[in-house]
Amino acid sequence: MANRAKATIFDIAREAGVSKSTVSLVLQGSGLIRPETASKVRKAIEDVGYVYNRGAANLRKAHSNVIGMVINDLTNPFFAELAVGMERVFQSAGIVPFIANTAENPVRQEEVLKSLMEQGVAGLIVSPARGTTPGAFRRIETAGLPVVFAMRRLPESRIPVIAPDNHRGAYLATAHLIGKGHRRLVFFGGSSDLVVYHDRLGGFREACETQGISDRDALVVEGETSRRGGIACLETALAMAEPPTAALCFNDAVAFGAMLALRKRGLEPGTDFAIVGFDDVAEAEHYMPALTSVAVDSAGLGERAAHVMLKMIQSRTTRAEDHIGAVNLVVRESCGPDRRTRNRTAGSGSTN
Amino acid sequence: MANRAKATIFDIAREAGVSKSTVSLVLQGSGLIRPETASKVRKAIEDVGYVYNRGAANLRKAHSNVIGMVINDLTNPFFAELAVGMERVFQSAGIVPFIANTAENPVRQEEVLKSLMEQGVAGLIVSPARGTTPGAFRRIETAGLPVVFAMRRLPESRIPVIAPDNHRGAYLATAHLIGKGHRRLVFFGGSSDLVVYHDRLGGFREACETQGISDRDALVVEGETSRRGGIACLETALAMAEPPTAALCFNDAVAFGAMLALRKRGLEPGTDFAIVGFDDVAEAEHYMPALTSVAVDSAGLGERAAHVMLKMIQSRTTRAEDHIGAVNLVVRESCGPDRRTRNRTAGSGSTN
DNA sequence: GCTACTAAATGGAACGTTCCAATAAATCAA
DNA sequence: TTGATTTATTGGAACGTTCCATTTAGTAGC
């Protein structure tokens, strides 16, 4: 019946009339203990209101069964999904992952990583904050702790990465727009401090290049990766002397913003201006019009990252293969009908 | 230069030519150490690649500086906001909170709580999973660990609660609908295993009662608290012999679903059927039509919960006052114009 | 030169567990 | 019976820190 001071295995031992070692073995589920003894001990555990002290145990065991997940933005459902995917895997492996949010702040990230290490985690899955400095993980690497990057990678790092095929996704989406007859395209949102940005922009550019869109017709408008950023991007684009007719957006939030801004100007997304998003968050399907977007299966990537981590821990290595997840373009309504059948002169040689 | 085996304060001591006790004092920022000695030690700490072992320290200190946040559904931005609000406060208090997700699963919750306790957290902020059994927190209570419930409470529990004024929010929203001229109303979504459901439904009923809507005209359709649930609720309601003309939804997700279903039937949310949501998630503002909703400031409630927890830890008590957060109705477009001026006979005595 | 005091640094015990080597009890082979 | 083997249990040392009681060195007062 729960004393003031917390109970230890010694209290259990006294209660059950055995030694502390026996209690320890029971706690670890060892088969060496006689079943009757074990159940006697288990009863005592209940009676004294014992809670296991993992910190003390780790002092000897060196193997800690807790894994840290460091997420750059938990309020973005895209990353929340990632976390949930990982959790699913860890749960069935009997591990409780602790999630920490960095709010896209490298300083905060530093604190969080430090704290997680001090806590003695067995491994770390990280979606690094924007602007993470190259050296941020050096200390962790030299400590020999397994780390996996999810969704994002760092420019020069040797840490394994689990991420979607951003290049290919952007390529597919852009090709789709070009196939619809668009001849002047724009890439909306993001900024170059993010590796993902370069990947997606690269796919956009390659598609333009291989499908005969000149560099001058492959525009780029940087901006915040949020609804607000999308609104701003669209304003900028439409203010151009020769505005584009279609946009590939850095992510769905930007796409929603762009569609909102279109509506505000009396333009209909899809028919007047084509929009493709990236990530395919749950909301995309339910929007009006439903958003065409590149699906990346973030929960699936989370599961994959968790599996890789488990494997690394098990084989006590700090290296693993990168894994680039498949993407696919989910075509909905936000790119409207085929432009070529609708307006034969559109997009080429307009003098306006 | 980081050895294979992890460095301890003894290694630092040897490196710096002092005793382990001196190192310990430096780590704790004690003023007893001569500044030159301290900096010598700090250099050694860098050199050996030391990482503090909080588990070992807690063995003596008993004061752990980590706080657990247990969230029922991280993919719901409403709860993610709550977590982020708490984090903001803890961060400035030099505490790193660990977030764990229960995915609305009481069994998972049990595991998560156990693990957090074993880790030796200083306190717990919990948004309990649906269907949490009354005894789920008994063990934690008897351990004397401070716990705060956020957003949700348990039927008979003595644990302090930080939650929005659900009753009042529902009352305000319902009164708004009645003020618009609606005479046959419905409450959409949720189910009675949730205390919040009773609170919100209670507000709905009280408003109907005090504003002259008979019980027979205050309908209830239970359902999932998701978009899908909202769609189902609307179908059910419109299939009634005498369908309602306005709905208060359990949360915004249900409201979005209901609006979707209206559109699918060729009805316009706002003009043909009024919808009010609850929670006022970010999306509500951007929907078409923009959703009228009860704003509850979940980030603010998170901050409040964190403050209460900090206070409890500081004063080493396990009791605190409940805190009911103010709510306010954000009127947007989903309830349309005033019905009375538009259609004088609506809602009363229609024989259809 | 002595005591009294302050400031700085230190050694040892303790925290709650695990793991190894050792013991005790039970069974078996001869 | 004796010794060997197996099964069940146990004591002690170790893990990396903190904290208390001491020690050591330095300064001041007389």
Whole-number Å distance between alpha carbons of A306 and A291: 30
DSSP helix, strand, coil percent of chain B (3-state; round to 5): 45, 15, 40
Calculate what percentage of chain A has a pLDDT beyond 90: 82
- pLDDT at residue A1, as a whole number: 42
> Which nucleotide's C1' is closest to B19 (Cα)?
C10
- pLDDT at residue A342, as a whole number: 55
Q: How many CB atoms lie within 10 A of CB B193?
A: 10
Average pLDDT (B49-72) is: 93
Which bases in strand D are touched by protein, i.e. have an atom under 7 Å from a CB?
Answer: 7-12, 14-21
CATH homologous superfamily for B9-52? lambda repressor-like DNA-binding domains (1.10.260.40)
Average pLDDT (A214-238) is: 96
Q: Which residues on adjacent β-strands are paired with residue A276?
A: A248, A292
A106 token code pair: 């490298």
Q: Which of A294-303, B92-101, B192-201 has the lowest mean pLDDT?
A: B92-101
Residue of A nearest to B111 (CA): A96
- Integer distance in angstroms from CA B313 to C1' D20? 25
Whether A42 sits with its Cβ under 7 A from any strand C atom: the answer reads no
- Cross-chain CB nearest to B59 (options A56, A101, A120): A56
Evaluated on CA atoms B15, B16, B21, B24, the torsion sign reads negative
Whether B138 sits with its Cβ under 7 A from any strand D atom: the answer reads no
Whether B56 sits with its Cβ under 7 A from any strand D atom: the answer reads yes
A chain contacts of residue B286, beta-carbon cutoff 8 Å: 227, 256, 260
- pLDDT at residue A346, as a whole number: 41
Task: Looking at the complex, report in whole angstroms how far the Cα of residue B74 sits from the nearest Cα belonging to chain A.
Answer: 6
- pLDDT classification of A168: cutoffs 50, 70, 90: very high
Residue of B nearest to A91 (CA): B108
CB of B277 within 8 A of CB of B190? no
B chain contacts of residue A56, beta-carbon cutoff 8 Å: 55, 59
A chain contacts of residue B77, beta-carbon cutoff 8 Å: 75, 77
More confident residue, A91 or B276: B276
Average pLDDT (A252-280) is: 95
- pLDDT classification of B155: cutoffs 50, 70, 90: confident
Residue ranges of the domains in chain A? 9-52, 64-164+298-325, 166-297+330-342
- pLDDT classification of B128: cutoffs 50, 70, 90: very high
For chain B, positions 167-226, list CB contacts with chain A under 8 A.
Answer: none
- Cross-chain CB nearest to A100 (options B99, B143, B144): B99
- pLDDT classification of B64: cutoffs 50, 70, 90: confident
Which residues fall within 8 angstroms of residue B239, CB to CB, at 6 or more apart? none
pLDDT in tens, B175-184: 999 999 999 9
Whole-number Å distance between alpha carbons of A29 and B137: 25
- Cross-chain CB nearest to B56 (options A59, A81, A87): A59
The CATH architecture one would assign to domain A166-297+330-342 is 3-Layer(aba) Sandwich (3.40)
- pLDDT at residue B2, as a whole number: 41
- pLDDT classification of B342: cutoffs 50, 70, 90: low
CB contact under 8 A, A87 and B101: yes
For chain B, positions 6-35, list CB contacts with chain A under 8 A.
Answer: 6
A chain contacts of residue B116, beta-carbon cutoff 8 Å: 96
Residue of A45, A46, A78, A98 to mutate, interface with B, max B Cβ within 10 Å: A98
Residue of A9, A46, A99, A110 to mutate, interface with B, max B Cβ within 10 Å: A99
CB contact under 8 A, A55 and B51: no
Quick one: which residue's CA is nearest to D19's C1'? B60
Q: Report CA-CA distances (Å) from A65 to A91, B4, B159.
A: 11, 20, 30
Return mean pLDDT, chain A: 92
Task: Looking at the complex, report in whole angstroms how far the Cα of residue A208 sits from the nearest Cα belonging to chain B.
Answer: 32
DSSP letters spanning A37-73 = HHHHHHHHHHHHT----HHHHHHHH----EEEEEES-
For chain B, positions 74-133, list CB contacts with chain A under 8 A.
Answer: 74-75, 77, 80-81, 83-84, 87, 91, 96-101, 103, 108, 111-112, 115-120
pLDDT in tens, B304-327: 999 999 999 989 899 999 999 999
Whether the predicted pLDDT of B341 surpasses 50: yes
User: CB pairs below 8 Å between A and B: how many?
Assistant: 123
- pLDDT at residue B62, as a whole number: 74
**B9-52 and B166-297+330-342 share one fold:** no
- pLDDT at residue B228, as a whole number: 93
CB of B74 within 8 A of CB of A84? yes
Residue given tokens 């669209």 in the structure block: A234
- Cis check: omega of the bond before B289, within 30 degrees of 0: yes
- Cross-chain CB nearest to B6 (options A54, A108, A143): A143
- pLDDT classification of B4: cutoffs 50, 70, 90: low
The one-letter amino acid at B213: I
Asked if A61 has any chain B CB less than 8 Å from its own CB, the reply is: no
CB contact under 8 A, B56 and A55: yes
Within B 61-100, residues with CB less than 7 Å from strand D: 61
pLDDT in tens, B223-270: 999 999 999 999 999 999 999 999 999 999 999 999 999 999 999 999
Q: Which of A264-268, A347-351, B101-105 has the lowest mean pLDDT?
A: A347-351
- pLDDT at residue A122, as a whole number: 94
Within B 226-255, residues with CB less than 7 Å from strand D: none
- pLDDT at residue A128, as a whole number: 96
> Which nucleotide's C1' is closest to A50 (Cα)?
C16
CB contact under 8 A, B51 and A143: yes
CB contact under 8 A, B99 and A74: yes
Quick one: which residue's CA is nearest to C12's C1'? B21
The CATH architecture one would assign to domain B64-164+298-326 is 3-Layer(aba) Sandwich (3.40)
CB contact under 8 A, A84 and B97: no
Q: Which of A339-343, B61-65, B163-167, B208-212 has the lowest mean pLDDT?
A: A339-343
Whole-number Å distance between alpha carbons of A189 and A173: 15
Calculate what percentage of chain B has a pLDDT beyond 70: 95
Highest mean pLDDT among A198-202, A281-285, A314-318: A198-202
Average pLDDT (A253-278) is: 96
Whether the predicted pLDDT of A3 surpasses 60: no
Within A 243-302, residues with CB less than 7 Å from strand D: none
Residue of B nearest to A259 (CA): B286
Tell me which CATH code domain A64-164+298-325 carries. Answer: 3.40.50.2300
pLDDT in tens, A305-341: 999 999 999 898 999 999 999 999 999 999 998 887 6
CB contact under 8 A, B286 and A260: yes
> Which nucleotide's C1' is closest to A12 (Cα)?
C16
Asked if B260 has any chain A CB less than 8 Å from its own CB, the reply is: yes
A334 token code pair: 């936000």
Helix ranges, chain A (H): 9-16, 20-27, 35-48, 54-61, 77-92, 106-118, 138-142, 166-179, 195-210, 227-238, 252-264, 282-286, 298-314, 339-342
Whether the predicted pLDDT of A348 surpasses 90: no
Q: What is the DSSP letter of B165?
A: -
- pLDDT at residue B288, as a whole number: 81
B chain contacts of residue A268, beta-carbon cutoff 8 Å: none
Asked if A316 has any chain B CB less than 8 Å from its own CB, the reply is: no
